[in-house]
């Protein structure tokens, strides 16, 4: 099971970064290049514990749908979303927010299992893990930009 661990320092309070990280509208801004849109569930605003969202996005030349649900929620310290249905066999994304000096260490722990057994493992090794890491880093850069420039409202 591949694991991606990222840490991003953001010069903003944990509560601000927490809210931006669960903002459906900002997520769509950060994934504009994949044409990601919400097609059901929580359609905009801040996703909450127990809520789910279904995304439609273009990855590797194909449109795909993925539904995730918020399964853990400790505002403003952490939340977890997990895949309900989609292209992966499973995934879990833990988001943590730690107060550091005058900012926040935003920590992503993304664990997933690819479908297709050995072919999925080969895809992980050749390109999928790097692709997922880049998606997360792009998302984090967008959150950082909005938080540090006080672009809270969308």
CA distance 146 to 120: 35
CA distance 141 to 138: 5
- The pTM score is 0.92
**Strand-by-strand arrangement of the 90-100 sheet:** 3-10, 103-113, 90-100, 78-85, 62-74, 52-59, 37-41
Coil, helix or strand at residue 67: strand
Q: To which CATH superfamily is domain 3-148 assigned?
A: START domain (3.30.530.20)
**Cis omega (within 30 of 0) for bond into 76:** yes
Domain ranges of the chain: 3-148
Per-residue model confidence as pLDDT tens digits over 68-89: 999 999 999 999 999 999 889 9
Per-residue model confidence as pLDDT tens digits over 21-50: 999 999 999 999 999 999 999 999 999 999
């Amino acid at each position: 099971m591949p694991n991606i661990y990222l840490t991003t320092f953001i010069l903003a309070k944990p509560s601000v970064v927490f809210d931006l990280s669960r903002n459906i509208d900002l997520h769509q801004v950060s994934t504009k290049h994949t044409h990601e849109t919400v097609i059901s569930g929580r359609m905009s605003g801040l996703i909450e514990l127990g809520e789910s969202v279904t995304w439609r996005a273009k990855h590797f030349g194909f449109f795909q749908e993925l539904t995730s649900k918020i399964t853990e929620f400790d505002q403003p310290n952490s939340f977890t979303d997990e895949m309900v249905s989609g292209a992966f066999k499973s995934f879990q994304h833990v988001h943590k927010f730690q107060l550091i000096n005058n900012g926040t260490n935003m920590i992503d722990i993304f664990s997933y299992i690819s479908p297709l057994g050995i072919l999925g493992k080969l895809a992980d090794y050749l390109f999928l893990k790097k692709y997922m890491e880049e998606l997360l880093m792009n998302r984090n850069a967008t959150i950082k930009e909005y938080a540090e420039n006080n672009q809270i409202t969308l």
